[in-house]
Amino acid sequence: MRLLMSSSDQDEGEMKTFANWILDVGNKNIGSVVGDESEIEISDDLLIIITDDPLSHLVDFAYTNLLQNMSDYKYFHSRAILAPTLESVKKVLKLYTNMMLLMSSLDQHDSEMKRFANWILDVENKNIGSDVGDESEIEILDDLLITTTDDPLSHLVDFLYPNLLHNMSDYRYFQSRTILAPTLESVETINDFVLTIFLEMEKEYLWYDTTCQANENEDVQQKWFTPDFLNDIKYSGLPNHKLTLKPGIAVMLLRNIDQTLSLYNGIRSIVNELGNNVIRAT
């Protein structure tokens, strides 16, 4: 249905043909099974025949003028790359151009931003640094370090968010700033510190955690998982049991709610009002 709905912007007959072909692939009406794999003949008009850099051509084809449209959520609604395996997904997601950093170079010195972007890419692609056991050691450039040792967290926040209280209602102020932390503990430490800067009264929201008995693993007793145990679980992508907020702070959605209203995973907003059961943010 998604393909047929988008046919208003493209040739209807061509889209229906492609939609039917996708359904035939999904229903295994075409192709043959060879061992643990399936062989499917793909139409020539669906192939990227350029062999020098096919992944780059695939991204360029699916996301034309990506840099110019990266802030338009509607641009991404009609585009997606479907990959058959997780390894293929990793190849598509592998950084080869740090677009966010290059976009910001319009406001800063080009050569400096490009050097930093290339350094970030080298770290991501493990071109620099060395592995020591389960950890990696990376030498950080001197101009990227905060050398003040008396209160490094305060200096970090002041450096990234100058005049924070004066700009707390300006969403554009937060768009170009963020602090990336390597662990959940670091995230909580930074969040708790930034929260103390805001003068408004804080409000706590508690997450209700419970378990449901599954059919499998019947030997596992539900009573083992007490509320205190569930409330102490902290995991990336899951909200903590207690969420403390103040008006004016920036929050990020962790779920897709309504993409037509720009309420999707990763979107950031500024808290305006805190009700008992509702949080108003824009």
> Over 70: is that where the pLDDT of 183 sits?
yes
Rounded to whole angstroms, how far apart are CA atoms 251 and 195?
A: 11
For 278, the token pair is 């509702």
pLDDT at 12: 72
pLDDT (tens digit per residue) in 156-169: 898 888 998 888 88
Q: How far apart are CA 167 and CA 159, in angstroms?
A: 14
Task: Tell me how far CA of residue 55 lies from CA of 41, 70, 102, 121, 160, in angstroms.
Answer: 20, 19, 20, 17, 35
Q: What percent of the chain has pLDDT over 90?
A: 2
Q: What is the pLDDT of residue 221?
A: 67
Structure-model confidence comparison of residues 68 and 105, the more confident one: 68
pTM: 0.51
pLDDT band for 5, please (50, 70, 90 cuts). very low
Average model confidence (pLDDT) across the chain: 77
226-262 pLDDT, tens digit each = 888 888 888 777 778 888 999 988 888 888 888 788 7
For residue 190, pLDDT over 70 is answered with yes
Say which DSSP state 263 is in. Answer: B
Q: What is the residue whose two structure tokens read 């950084």? A: 95
For residue 67, the number of C-alpha atoms closer than 13 Å in the C-beta half-sphere is: 10
For the residues 19-25, what does the mean pLDDT come to?
A: 82
4: confidence class by pLDDT, cuts 50, 70, 90: very low
Looking only at the bridges linking them, the beta strands covering 130-132 and 135-137 are antiparallel
